[in-house]
Amino acid sequence: MCQVLEVSRSGYYGWLKRPKSNRQRANEELLDLIKTIHERKRRLYGVRPMTHELNKKVKCGHNRVYRLMKENGIHSQMLEHNFS
pLDDT in tens, 8-61: 999 999 999 999 999 999 999 999 999 999 999 999 999 999 999 999 999 999
Domain carrying residue 65: 20-76
Does position 84 have pLDDT exceeding 70, yes or no? no
State residue 13's pLDDT score. 93
Q: Are 22 and 56 in contact (CB under 8 A)?
A: no
State residue 78's pLDDT score. 75
pTM summary value = 0.79
Does a structural domain hold residue 33?
yes
Under 8 Å CB-to-CB from 33, ≥6 apart: which residues? Answer: 54, 57, 58
CA 22 to CA 38: how far, in whole Å? 24
Does a structural domain hold residue 2?
no
Indicate the pLDDT class of residue 83, thresholds 50, 70 and 90: low
3-state SS string for 23-79: HHHHHHHHHHHHHHHHHHCCCCCCHHHHHHHHCCCCCCCHHHHHHHHHHCCCCCCCC
Does a structural domain hold residue 25?
yes
Domain total of the chain: 1
State residue 80's pLDDT score. 65
